[in-house]
Structure 1
Amino acid sequence: MAAPLYRRIAQQIKEEIQSGIWKEGEAIPTEMHLSERYEASRVTVRQAIKGLVEEGLLEKVQGSGTYVKEQKIEHNIFELLSFTEEMRSLNKEPVNKILHFELKEADDQVKRMLKLSDGEKVFYVRRQRLVDDVPYVVEDTYLPVSMFPNLSYGIMTGSKYDYIEKEVGMKIKDSFQEVIPVLPSPDIAEALTVETSMPILKIQSYSVFSDGTIFEYSENHFKSDEYKFTLRASRP
């Protein structure tokens, strides 16, 4: 039994989106144009479009038209995955570009977050995290030198969590995060290739080993047009 016409039209539109004929952010043709193209009534075309809107492939903008929806990376805030792990789960290969790598004395904020004593040193690393040459995140990480004396520039071009768990041999348990919408500083805006007037999402976090030891403090700046954050809340 043949599928209803509106579903066949929806499937054709979906295939054109997936093949890149209709690109993300672009307006699709009008209902009248599509009804002529597919030799179908506007009611049938409207039904096909409605299904694709519900599926998340298209979005309607009041007073403007219907557009191919830009697909943001969906980050589940309750899953503790590294950026590398998250991107690879989506069949994307990330690249870490080191913008700063230095040994320094912890300032008051970092000392407080990592529970360090006066005079203790940390590695400060700023990484620009890219996929397909597009910067998604700028990460500032502080790691105690006493815990990671062999940390190197080369290690930080890869997965930090892989290094900690596989080479250092420590088990990561939890990350405690605070999400803050902010306007980027000029250097962060430049690294994310956005305007300073464009809001971004900043996550301040500290992470702990299974024995409760705090081993990392990070500030991650996420490009808000590439990322969305989701969580699942259950009613008791």
Structure 2
Amino acid sequence: MNKYESISSEMRQRIINRQYPIDQPIPDEISLAKEFGCSRMTMKRALDLLVVEGLLYRKRGHGTFIVQSAINKNKVNVASDKSLGLSNLLKDENITSKVIKFEVQFPNEEVAMHLAIDEKTPVYYIIRLRLVDGEPYVMEKTYMPTTLIPGIKDEVLQGSVYKYIKEDLGLTMAGSHRIIRACKSDSLDQEHLECLSDDPILEVEHIGFLNNGVPFEYSFSRHRYDKFEVTTVNPIR
């Protein structure tokens, strides 16, 4: 783990544990850099991660503040950068995976278009249930080109796929495009997310891009309505 990542993890824990007053700015970057024994640039990078996650927001001329709604540990903000992955958004929780389906297939026209490939390029088709402390949180339906993301196997799916892409394949994920919509639960949701037939589902359609602009993932994340929320921060300047 890089220095800024370990600092970010410690700051995240402090925020969750309410170590800082909710109605006042957290200590400034210079003070925190001195406390952690790092450069101001490293400190800024650590706090940037928490801004992206929706835990902090910056108010020009006033400092950096905690997003009050974000300290609810029972929900995850689906508006946070999905390239972080659930394992990073809930670092201090016990996250496990159940693979429902894993196969290689040829994509249909829509999937091929979103991944910028032709219909003869094979893709992984993965349906994976993500559990937090044994409780179902989200079901992911994912397509990835096998030529771009080689070596996916069951052991990878049991952990963090994004960590595998970053650390084992040495690829850099740079951004994403997301559409968030409300849906009715289907039979698969009711079976694996343990929701009722009249429960709503929050679906995030997601296209992830590498730093060279090439799409590496097209997915649909189906979220239990009581475990996720949408939070955006737009400070007045």
What is the letter of the counterpart of residue 189 of structure 2?
I
Q: Residues of 2 paired with 1:103 and 1:74: CA distance?
A: 30
Contact 1:202 1:220 in 2 (8 A): yes
TM superposition score normalised by structure 2: 0.67
**1:85 and 2:88 are equivalent in the alignment:** yes
How far is the alpha carbon of 1:116 from its aligned partner? 1.1
Aligned-partner Cα distance in 1 for 2:183–2:155: 31
Q: CA deviation at 1:78?
A: 3.8
Distance, in Å, in 1 between the alignment partners of 2:146 and 2:126 is 12
Cα deviation, residue 72, structure 1: 3.3
> In the TM superposition, what are the counterparts of 1:104-115 in structure 2 within 5 Å?
104-115=105-116
Report the secondary structure of 1:188's partner residue.
helix
Structure 1 residue 203 displacement after superposition: 0.2
> 1:28-85 CA deviation, whole Å, 9 max, x = no partner?
xxxxxxxxxxxxxxxxxxxxxxxxxxx88xxxxxxxxxxxxx9631316143420111
Counterpart Cα distance in 2 of 1:105 and 1:118: 6
1:143 has 2:144 as partner: yes
The equivalent of 2:154 in structure 1 is 153
1:182 aligns with 2:183: yes
Asked if the contact 2:75–2:226 (Cα under 8 Å) also holds between the matched residues in 1, the reply is no
Q: CA deviation at 1:197?
A: 1.2
2:109 and 2:119 in contact (8 A); partners too? no
> 1:195 aligns to what?
196
Q: How does 1:1-236 map to 2 (within 5 A)?
A: 72-75=74-77, 77-80=79-82, 81-88=84-91, 91-235=92-236
Counterpart of 2:234, as a letter, is A
Secondary structure of the structure 2 residue equivalent to 1:187:
helix
Contact 1:73-1:226 at 8 Å conserved across structures? yes
Task: Report which of the two structures shows the higher radius of gyration computed on alpha carbons.
Answer: 1
The one-letter amino acid paired with 1:92 is E
The answer to whether the Cα contact below 8 Å between 1:176 and 1:205 also exists between their aligned partners in 2 is yes
2:73 and 2:209 map into 1 onto residues whose CA distance is 32
Contact 1:139/1:219 (8 A) holds in 2: yes
Of 114-123 and 198-207, the range deviating more from structure 2? 114-123
Q: Structure 2 counterpart of 1:102, which letter?
A: E
TM-score, normalised via structure 1 length: 0.67
Q: What number of residue pairs does the alignment pair up?
A: 168
Q: The residue matched to 2:159 in structure 1 has which SS? A: coil
- Post-superposition Cα deviations, 1:93-144, rounded to whole Å, max 9, x if no partner, equal 1001111000001012211110111211100111100011110000011110
Distance 1:229 1:116, change over 3 A: same
TM-superposition CA deviations, 1:181-209 (whole Å, max 9, x none): 00021112211000121101000000001
Whole-Å separation in 2 of the counterparts to 1:116 and 1:127: 23
2:230 aligned partner, one-letter code: F
Unmatched runs of 5 consecutive residues or more in structure 1: 1-54, 57-69
- Could you tell me how far apart the structure 1 residues matched to 2:80 and 2:193 are? 25
Percent of aligned pairs with the same residue?
A: 24
Gap regions ≥5 residues in structure 2: 1-67
- Inter-partner Cα distance in structure 1 for 2:186 and 2:138: 14
